[in-house]
């Protein structure tokens, strides 16, 4: 195997897959940093966003990328609604109650997707998309769009968190919730903003997974473990850590098929998750401990 074969068939797909995981992992890490619980419905929320984009493509005839902003807005609104209806009254209860409730929400979202759109595999567009040659690197346009979306969305989020008033409020809630409340920060607005961002990133993650592969009702459930592995690997509560963890998990999964059958590459995310929990629970960038 030469260098270009390694890059074209393993590293580049790993970066693309890692970018998809990173988008979802950022939402997971924000929810845990501010709300202090693991959201098990994250993968199915991403699936819902992917199917909302599919509905826009089929109903309005728009290109898939044009449907992405609509999917982000709709999924963000659904995420806020889920919090208001199901999670808000559990705020003062033990966090394990909310975690189990999120598992129920995952099953509900999956059932809605299967009832509305069915269980068959679908795609945003039909036909073979041939990669372009960039000095020996064979890359499809949609792969470039995926990595570019990660850079734009996460870069914009970082600017929001560091430069804006509400971004600083979110960071304060993450560092010390009680002190933030005493300082006059509106907890309800911060929580709502957290769900808007997490829901939007969920939609982007699900969309780009479907855009690069296929759209399935179970795809979000299958990407849940790698997203959690990415968040824990980078450091829970660290946005840049989620991106780093997502890229590492994605590349590790693709490279693992060199030594194990492709059906078992998801086990690599599980191995990374266990290893980090045992060796360094705070992650590579010293985040919070689950």
Encode pLDDT of 212-234 as tens digits: 999 999 999 999 999 999 999 98
Say if 287 falls within a structural domain. no
Say if 15 falls within a structural domain. yes
Phi, psi (deg, nearest 5) at residue 142: -65, -25
Say if 130 falls within a structural domain. no
Q: What's the pLDDT at 275?
A: 85
Say if 125 falls within a structural domain. no
Say if 122 falls within a structural domain. no
Q: What's the pLDDT at 99?
A: 93
Taking residue 27's Cβ as centre, other Cβ atoms within 10 Å add up to 28
Q: What's the pLDDT at 76?
A: 97
Range of the domain at 100: 3-113+136-279
Q: What's the pLDDT at 290?
A: 56
Which residue, 221, 222, 228, 220, is CA-closest to 276? 228
Per residue, what are the HEC states of the chain?
A: CCHHHHHHHHHHHHHHHHHHHHHHHHHHHHHHHHHCCCCCCHHHHHHHHHHHHHHHHHHHCCCHHHHHHHHHHHHHHHHHHHHHHHHHHHCCCCHHHHHHHHHHHHHHHHHHHHHHHCCCCECCCCCCCCCEEECCEEECHHHHHHHHHHHHHHHHHHHHHHHCHHHHHHHHHHHCHHHHHHCCCCHHHHHHHHHHHHHHHHHHHHHHHHHHCCECCCHHHHHHHHHHHHHHHHCECCHHHHHHHHHHHHHHHHHHCCCCCHHHCHHHHHHHHHHHHHHCCCCCCCCECC
Say if 160 falls within a structural domain. yes
Q: What's the pLDDT at 289?
A: 62
Say if 20 falls within a structural domain. yes
When divided into structural domains, the chain yields a total of 1
Which parts of the chain have pLDDT scores under 50? none
Q: What's the pLDDT at 130?
A: 79
Show Cβ contacts of residue 152 under 8 Å, excluding neighbours closer than 6 positions.
none
- Residue 76 sits in a domain whose CATH number is 1.10.3470.10
């Amino acid at each position: 195997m030469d260098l270009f074969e390694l890059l074209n068939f393993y590293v580049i797909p790993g970066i693309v897959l890692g970018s998809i995981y990173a988008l979802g992992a950022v939402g997971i890490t924000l929810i845990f940093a501010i709300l202090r619980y693991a959201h098990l419905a994250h993968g199915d929320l991403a699936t819902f966003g992917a199917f909302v984009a599919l509905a826009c493509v089929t109903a309005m005839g728009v290109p898939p990328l044009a449907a992405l902003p609509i999917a982000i807005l709709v999924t963000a609104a659904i995420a806020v609604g889920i919090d208001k209806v199901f999670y808000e009254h559990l705020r003062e209860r033990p966090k394990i109650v909310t975690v189990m409730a999120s598992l129920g929400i995952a099953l509900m979202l999956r059932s809605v997707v299967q009832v509305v759109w069915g269980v068959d595999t679908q795609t945003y567009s039909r036909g073979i998309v041939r990669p372009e040659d960039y000095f020996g690197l064979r890359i499809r346009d949609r792969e470039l769009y995926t990595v570019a979306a990660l850079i734009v969305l996460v870069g914009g989020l970082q600017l929001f968190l560091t430069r804006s008033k509400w971004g600083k409020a979110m960071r304060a809630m993450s560092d010390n919730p009680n002190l933030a409340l005493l300082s006059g920060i509106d907890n309800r607005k911060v929580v709502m903003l957290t769900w808007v961002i997490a829901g939007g990133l969920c939609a982007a993650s699900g969309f780009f997974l479907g855009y690069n592969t296929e759209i399935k009702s179970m795809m979000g459930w299958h990407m849940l473990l790698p997203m959690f592995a990415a968040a824990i690997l980078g450091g829970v509560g660290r946005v840049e850590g989620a991106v780093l963890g997502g890229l590492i998990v994605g590349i590790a999964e693709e490279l693992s098929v060199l030594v194990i059958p492709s059906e078992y590459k998801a086990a690599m995310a599980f191995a990374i998750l266990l290893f980090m929990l045992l060796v360094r629970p705070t992650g590579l960038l010293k985040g919070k401990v689950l």
